Structure 1
């Protein structure tokens, strides 16, 4: 079998001898009939415009549906991981379908642009291959002829490659965020119950109270040693509620203010300290604390002294240093508490909203000892034990010697006082400043001995909410606001709308260029096989394809460099029709000039 050649035998010798391109081998005389315009019927089908309209409607529908779907989810609670997955999957499906619709529009417009370019300019067969391949084969962009003359078509291809980014950006506009939500419901919480004196006291014969019990003593020790309210197990890691209750606390005043506001004695004169009975409270105060009456500007050696006379009605008498202005009287009161209690990640904070002194505990030591035998309306054992606890902590004497040595009224008895914050208060610390004792002012809450004692008594009362023997009896129900983390959908609306808007803008630009190409072409074209078949009916192309019927790639250079164009051509029978032909053998449709 003879080897295949690109041209028939009648042209072989001239082609080999002259080294000319195939476009110059064919006849140079063009039939005048080729200038008469289109020779075939132009049909305008409604199918393509209908497809374009459907694709536009589909793209808008899926994009708008995507937007409204995500907006319906915005700030709503994620019920389950499955719901979350399907919500995002549905959004991704909308993005994919929107992308497919837009790419379809661009593809239709690009085809019209290809046929317009083929009518307007002659291109090599390799360049034409690049035009037909560029929409689905990115490597076609490296065709030099396409880069030089097909910039609009390259724009179409670039847009079709970028549009799929919609499927990455838009589904990601729906995310999950953790927000703190709250709900308010009635809930049981711990409170106090000072009518329940279980394990508060040790007793002696006939039910008399001998002293504080071990459980409440441990709690009191923890309060004054830690200088804070004892932590409590939260009803919920993040909760807020208000609590009202009543309980004991001390009200402390300067002795002069105390005397001015009292209209009657707060002690039993007939049961006063042995000796001449005190006629006034001032006499009783300075009788119990004789050093407090000294007016010397020099230290007496006493930094602190306190007394809790049994004949007085739950009163603590204190004097600090040698300053006569530091004479303090603390009276035990029944007090109303209104607290705002918050737990944040299990850590409690308490804000007093209102603390009101109701009535003083107007009964003496004898009434307190027998309070376990009396009714709760008379004397509460818990109040009496509270006064015993504070008396055991505070009743003491601290002396400082000339050599800066400290001495106490009983070493062991003084240890609790030194563990508390009271010696660091300015009234005490001033007298020891020369010897550098108690020089930590921040340890004294409220920077005042009076306020520190009041604060300590309130901390103790509030801490009894965690008293182990009240666990079942000290409960109440209050409105509680519980805050908890909750996963919610978060929709970045602007990102989705801008992304889709950009995609639609470039797609419609391409569609407008395609419509312009249709107007110039006068008909709607496609890249279907039938279109290629019908537009390549040309004897010159038959000769060019001789021996290469399988259409294998890549093309040989001699074939790839042949320049073709779409226009009016003549077949073997001399009939004129529209189709592809070798450059120089046809007349452009519409009478345009041939370009090389």
Structure 2
């Protein structure tokens, strides 16, 4: 025994007896094995002799080897001398990489869960983190498959005869996708090919999985207390004109004059400049001036309630309207009369005396009425409605062919009241809309008269000024309809006249109420009024925010398939290690020590440069089929190496922890 041989455990061995030298003229693809006699105990305890022939057949001199099971057991026992102890590193690395890949996918999932529903801030950084998790997972799973693939390659080479070109492709399949274009790869190494294909497909998860996190506009609701503007008209009773509530910046809606009588009482003088400007603004815009939004950056809705002026309108009967239009002074003398005899289609007037801003001098007596309110004028709106009924030719309604349909008279009566306004404000995209509902309508003015000493005098003056601004707007113009020209430019300026038909709008009552609400809501936009008030009220806020949205399906479809493919590959790799009896790799050193074969020397001898690794490789050699297994050389040395199918004996077995015994030794290497 060689002095460098390590101590060997006691085991069953076979005695390999070399025969005389074989014929030196054996060709590269011929039978290079010389027959050898192997003796040993059979599995059933009978002494047998076996001859390893060039066709890799095992002939037994005993009839007990007739069964296939016995021959298989004999082969396993023979393979014991060609194993090596399994090393822990590669299986551990295979499993460890799989665990890391699985952990990477879970971390990626948990990271996206933590972002789901949050504001989409630092999107680029978050996407980069997701991409890093994806590539880490991909690298770990692919690494596990590659380690398993290398074990499967050696299993395939031990069990299948594959051309040299096919072997090249197998060793490069995970690095070069063009190697899939090989018949040997597709036919003789199906499992290994599928594993290699997985290493190319799994990286798609690294590309697709970060897309599971997107930024989407999400409808977000919240509730809060908002500082909102409101009105308190009763505060006008306590206002001091010389000392405005907001200092020099305070605004007066009404002006007062000072009486010459005892106590120097102040009485209503006229409508203030601020009030006039607010009415001009709302009437011109045909909408209220917007208030400042209490929820900047959000859309919001809130309700607010307050007392404010209101005109309560009632529609009279058609008969009353006909009498009123014929007998009341709707139009100044000399102007055209109502259609069909004239061209007037709408007119507004008011009944009752107006408060005279030019007050008489103070009189010390019971008949002194300086600054007194003695009435509240009522608005009357007369108008015609087209019935669509054709007129009778020659009748008054036809007016000699000018009119084609019958007009029906209407009469609207409106009185000023103090009402409770319930307003629902809505701000959407910084645009205000409001819905007003009124209730608890009552009078502020107490007939027959109300003087400066009354506790509600100043508030009544405010209501009167409000009503007067509305009345002045309604009596400014008429509705006209000329049958021949059908155009009167003044019609377009009246808020109750349809600019196209020159007749009254469809909802005259609603038109009056809109004037009132537009002016009342405009007052809310003026923060420094004596009647202005800020209060807190619940408001519903909402908006569309860019928030992260995590699609679990988008992440886990790719990861699940990748994990399953890796798990299956790992099991296949473990099975290959078990069947091979050795852990190996496809590094150059592994190739170097598995190609020690005289047959290969003979194969490359006739092709210049091949033994030096020259390229391109000869086609004849590419098509030569080789197999990895046990080879008995003609010089008596027994090897494990790549060889032709005829000279190679397979060496798969299920024995555990086997190691190579005296590799490359002659027949004297028969003892452990």
Is the contact made by 1:225 and 1:419 (CA closer than 8 Å) also made in structure 2?
Answer: no
1:200 aligns with 2:253: yes
1:315 aligns with 2:374: no
Deviates more, 1:457-466 or 1:27-36: 27-36
Is the contact made by 1:193 and 1:470 (CA closer than 8 Å) also made in structure 2?
Answer: no
Q: 1:246, 1:287 → 2: CA distance? A: 38
Alignment of 1:410-489 (within 5 A): 419-424=493-498, 437-439=501-503, 444=505, 447-467=506-526, 470=529, 473-489=532-548
Aligned to 1:432: none
Q: 2:103 aligns with which of 61, 76, 91?
A: 61
Q: 1:387, 1:70 → 2: CA distance? A: 62
1:356 aligns with 2:439: yes
Aligned to 1:130: 169
Structure 1 gaps, min length 5: 1-12, 16-20, 260-281, 409-413, 430-435, 592-596
Is the contact made by 2:379 and 2:414 (CA closer than 8 Å) also made in structure 1?
Answer: yes
Alignment of 1:102-501 (within 5 A): 102-194=141-233, 195=236, 198-201=251-254, 206=259, 209=268, 211-235=270-294, 236-237=296-297, 238-254=299-315, 289=328, 301=342, 303=345, 304-310=347-353, 312-321=375-384, 326-352=410-436, 354-363=437-446, 367=450, 375-376=455-456, 379-395=459-475, 398=478, 419-424=493-498, 437-439=501-503, 444=505, 447-467=506-526, 470=529, 473-501=532-560
SS at match of 2:635: coil
Q: 1:115, 1:407 → 2: CA distance? A: 100
Is the contact made by 1:240 and 1:482 (CA closer than 8 Å) also made in structure 2?
Answer: yes
Alpha-carbon RMSD across the aligned residues, in angstroms, is: 4.2
| Displacement after TM superposition at 1:166 (Å) | 1.4
Q: Which has the higher helix share?
A: 1
Is the contact made by 2:219 and 2:544 (CA closer than 8 Å) also made in structure 1?
Answer: yes
Q: 1:549, 1:247 → 2: CA distance? A: 107
| Displacement after TM superposition at 1:250 (Å) | 0.4
Is the contact made by 2:301 and 2:426 (CA closer than 8 Å) also made in structure 1?
Answer: yes
SS at match of 1:107: helix
Cα distance change on mapping 1:545 and 1:399 into 2, 3 Å: closer
Q: 1:60, 1:437 → 2: CA distance? A: 76
Cα distance change on mapping 1:331 and 1:51 into 2, 3 Å: same
Cα distance change on mapping 1:487 and 1:449 into 2, 3 Å: closer
1:76 aligns with 2:118: yes
Is the contact made by 1:39 and 1:578 (CA closer than 8 Å) also made in structure 2?
Answer: no
SS at match of 2:380: strand
| Displacement after TM superposition at 1:314 (Å) | 3.5
How big is each residue's C-alpha offset from its partner over 1:299-332, in whole Å with a ceiling of 9 and x where there is no partner? 5646435223116434223433599973332110
Aligned to 2:92: 50
Cα distance change on mapping 1:319 and 1:119 into 2, 3 Å: closer
Q: 2:433, 2:182 → 1: CA distance? A: 74
How big is each residue's C-alpha offset from its partner over 1:396-417, in whole Å with a ceiling of 9 and x where there is no partner? 7859799779999xxxxx96x8
Is the contact made by 2:268 and 2:458 (CA closer than 8 Å) also made in structure 1?
Answer: no
Cα distance change on mapping 1:438 and 1:511 into 2, 3 Å: same
Which of these two proteins has the greater Rg computed from alpha carbons? 2
SS at match of 1:422: coil
Aligned to 1:40: 81
Is the contact made by 1:565 and 1:580 (CA closer than 8 Å) also made in structure 2?
Answer: yes
Deviates more, 1:377-386 or 1:320-329: 320-329
Cα distance change on mapping 1:216 and 1:404 into 2, 3 Å: farther
How big is each residue's C-alpha offset from its partner over 1:413-445, in whole Å with a ceiling of 9 and x where there is no partner? x96x85232234xxxx9xxxxxx8514x6xx3x
Q: 1:580, 1:286 → 2: CA distance? A: 120
Q: 1:578, 1:463 → 2: CA distance? A: 100
Q: 1:577, 1:498 → 2: CA distance? A: 48
Q: 1:43, 1:567 → 2: CA distance? A: 14
SS at match of 1:188: strand
Q: 1:555, 1:471 → 2: CA distance? A: 101
Cα distance change on mapping 1:494 and 1:520 into 2, 3 Å: same
SS at match of 2:202: helix
Alignment of 1:521-560 (within 5 A): 521-544=580-603, 550-560=612-622
Q: 1:493, 1:152 → 2: CA distance? A: 31
How big is each residue's C-alpha offset from its partner over 1:190-245, in whole Å with a ceiling of 9 and x where there is no partner? 33354268443467785655543444233323433443323344332523222111
Cα distance change on mapping 1:172 and 1:450 into 2, 3 Å: closer
Is the contact made by 1:200 and 1:212 (CA closer than 8 Å) also made in structure 2?
Answer: yes
Alignment of 1:579-590 (within 5 A): 579-589=641-651
Q: 2:339, 2:646 → 1: CA distance? A: 127
Is the contact made by 1:108 and 1:514 (CA closer than 8 Å) also made in structure 2?
Answer: yes
Aligned to 1:573: 635
How big is each residue's C-alpha offset from its partner over 1:506-557, in whole Å with a ceiling of 9 and x where there is no partner? 2233334434444543444432444334322323334556675543443334
Q: 2:553, 2:593 → 1: CA distance? A: 49
Is the contact made by 1:537 and 1:579 (CA closer than 8 Å) also made in structure 2?
Answer: yes
Q: 1:575, 1:405 → 2: CA distance? A: 125
Cα distance change on mapping 1:173 and 1:308 into 2, 3 Å: same
Q: How many residues align?
A: 519
SS at match of 2:306: strand
Q: 2:487, 2:199 → 1: CA distance? A: 93
Is the contact made by 1:306 and 1:396 (CA closer than 8 Å) also made in structure 2?
Answer: no
Q: 2:512, 2:183 → 1: CA distance? A: 93
